[in-house]
A and B are shown apart, each in its own frame.
Chain A
């Protein structure tokens, strides 16, 4: 069965802090995604990737960097965290091709004080 794990599950940092969120998938999927989920906004795509070394800009990329080191691992980096980045972050993976199902991790709750 598809598996996507995220770490940490909860993180508290201060304004200006440096945060890395990790995601690993064991599905052998090509695509991986980072979303943020805020009340009233649903999930919004930050960055995504279709393979190791590839990065595509999503819909809300400002203040975020991402890196896909291997097919399994996708990292989201907040180099100067701000309170506006307090959110619930989800990672997902999917096959390529039309209408693929996305498999989601359990989420990371980030609080920036």
Chain B
């Protein structure tokens, strides 16, 4: 089946340090995967951080970037300089472009990030 594996947390970094959260996927039943990063701040629901629907493309938002690499089946999340406000849980997710399948997402386990001031 389809699956997503990401860096197990918790991850702790200091403010202004760089960050990478790894994400790899297996899309055995999806012909045209699309990839997402969602973020959940304390007490809130998940919200979309970025998405990429075409292999080889890069998505970016709020200083975060992720490149959809079909060869390595990866979608790692990176940021050059984190801020304390980036402390949250990050989820990598895999979706299916096939309209007939609905808009189902397969999520990774989530990575809790804490940024020290």
Q: Check A101 against B51 for contact (C-beta < 8 Å).
A: yes
Q: Please, how many residues of chain A have a CB less than 8 angstroms from a CB on the other chain?
A: 30
When distances are taken between beta carbons in the complex, the residues of chain A under 8 Å from B99 are: 96-98
Known contacts A41-B109, A42-B107, A98-B98; A104 and B53 CB within 8 A of each other = no
Determine the distance from Cα of A35 to Cα of B104 in the docked complex, in whole angstroms: 11
- What's the least CB distance linking B10 to chain A, in Å? 11
List A74-109 residues whose CB lies under 8 Å from chain B: 90, 92, 94-107
Determine the distance from Cα of A101 to Cα of B8 in the docked complex, in whole angstroms: 24
Q: Check A100 against B103 for contact (C-beta < 8 Å).
A: yes
B5 (CB) vs chain A CBs: closest residue: A42
A58 (CB) vs chain B CBs: closest residue: B104
When distances are taken between beta carbons in the complex, the residues of chain A under 8 Å from B20 are: none
- What's the least CB distance linking A31 to chain B, in Å? 5
When distances are taken between beta carbons in the complex, the residues of chain B under 8 Å from A31 are: 102-103
When distances are taken between beta carbons in the complex, the residues of chain A under 8 Å from B4 are: 42
The interface of chain A, by Cβ under 8 A from chain B, is 4, 31, 35, 37, 40-45, 48, 50, 56, 58, 90, 92, 94-107
Top 5 closest pairs, chain A to chain B, by CB: A104-B45, A98-B97, A42-B107, A43-B107, A42-B109
